[in-house]
Chain A
Amino acid sequence: MTNPGSGTVYTETVVFSQSEAYVNDVPYQLAIIQLESGRRLTGRIDGERAQIGDKVKFVEFRKDVAFFRKSA
């Protein structure tokens, strides 16, 4: 999978209730990232909580899911 690069948080939520496949992950932050490439991608945000408009950078794929982290 290709590195999606950096982007900005378009919208986000913190998920508390999930199906069995994800139940060990909760709570986690899910977001739609407006990528610098122009497209949007749904991924997770690790570490510090990010808000709409915050810059985030790609960290890694885990099980085909893109993880981002808030830029310093």
Chain B
Amino acid sequence: MRQVAVVGIGKTAFGAFPDRDLRSLAVEAGQKALENAGAKPSQVEAFYLGNFAGPSFVGQNHLAPYVAAGMGITGIPATRFEAACASSGAAFFHAVSAVAAGLYDVLLITGVEKMTSQPTPKVTEILAGAGDLCGEVRAGATFPALFAMIARRHMYQYGTTREQMAAVAVKNHANGAKNPLAHMRKVITMEQALNGKPISEPLTVYDCSLISDGAAAVLIAPLERAAEFTAKPVRVLGIAQASDNVALDEKEDITTLRAVKISAEKAYKMAGVKPADIQFAEVHDCFTIAEIVAIEDLGFVTKGEGGPYSLAGKTCIQGERPVNTSGGLKAKGHPVGATGVGQICDVVQQIRGEADERQVRRNSLGLAQNLGGSGATSVVTILGAA
């Protein structure tokens, strides 16, 4: 297996962009990643696209060659990956695997979603397609409802509180306010977070991530060729993907996401590091409770301690282990197909020391965790300075 490095990153702003179509967003991110690496479209040997529901959101199918051709890239394998909200995380995992195995040298991975052209009830319906339509969704589950049921059980088993969940929202909004590419650059108070409009009890609107448009891209290459593209290559030290049952009622203990634990353990082993070594992370906070569950399943804290750890400020930019310095899905935005690669861009930016006022002090070892559905897909990536 060859060592793989991220040699270029590119992102659009995340937000609601009525004048932009899916392809123009994906092309902008891809071109920025190529420019960032000083690479030409003709150097790209394969193109992997992460996208959850373009055909449902905008009607367009056959998306990977469509986006690639928009960048002037034809004649190479161009393939779309779908794994719900982990679509581009999965695309990145398979891209790294292909370069590590020696199939290609230079591979471009883009994630994109264009969500805001549909009204919220329709978005809710499309997103519910990541659940079990014949079971939980038929009974009336939405994604907020599934995570609300995880929250209720977590509160019941571990005493997790509304304040602890709200602390995640307050922190991620504070970080997002400092991120020029974030969807919602607005600081919120604990009082606001606790008194938001109810979506699915105990979750309020402030516990839920945003419906966003946006795209993100990374260019990867073998580490031995990284210097051709960048003075600041970032190594993929460990990466793993794992799956689990789609339906929440088929998971044994819903306060622990098994696929996250499995993918994390494999990624740690591959990187030769322990959870305690991870200095900062971007985790999949599709809901505030998901960040609490994630930091537990990733081993940053023991099970049940995620809430108190968050409320104590340990995950703030100045805390002992900063989490979601980008603002997370909560404030940066969650164009679902773009989220996995977006997280990789955010971790790379920190390792390069390019995060400006959000820059963490200890920045040589970071982690990204991308989740699909209520935990049926998980991708964990550990990145480090080369």
Q: Which residues of A contact B (CB under 8 A)?
A: 10-23, 25, 28, 30-32, 40-44, 52-53, 63-66
Contacts and interface: CB of A to CB of B under 8 A. Distances in A.
Given A15-B145, A17-B120, 10 more contacts: A11-B150, A15-B140, A18-B124, A18-B142, A19-B124, A40-B250, A41-B249, A44-B140, A52-B152, A52-B156
Contact of B121 (A14, A23, A30, A52): A23
Interface in B118-148: 120-122, 124-125, 128, 135-136, 138-142, 144-145, 148
Chain B interface size, under 10 / 10 to 19 / 20 to 34 / 35 or more: 20 to 34
Contacts of B254: 11, 32
Given A42-B135, A42-B141, A65-B138, A18 B149 contact: no
28 contacts: A11-B149, A11-B153, A12-B152, A13-B148, A13-B152, A13-B200, A15-B148, A16-B197, A16-B198, A18-B142, A19-B122, A19-B124, A19-B142, A20-B125, A22-B140, A30-B139, A30-B141, A30-B149, A32-B248, A32-B249, A32-B254, A40-B249, A40-B250, A43-B139, A44-B139, A65-B138, A65-B139, A66-B139
B140 A20 contact: no
A17 B140 CA distance: 10
A10 B249 CA distance: 9
A14 B149 contact: no
B247 interface: yes
Interface of B: 120-122, 124-125, 128, 135-136, 138-142, 144-145, 148-150, 152-153, 156, 197-203, 247-250, 254
A13 B139 contact: no
Contacts of A23: 121
B142 A15 contact: yes
Which of A10, A16, A65 gathers the greatest number of chain B CB atoms within 10 Å? A16
B138 A64 contact: yes
Which of A13, A16, A19 gathers the greatest number of chain B CB atoms within 10 Å? A13
Contacts of B141: 15, 30, 42
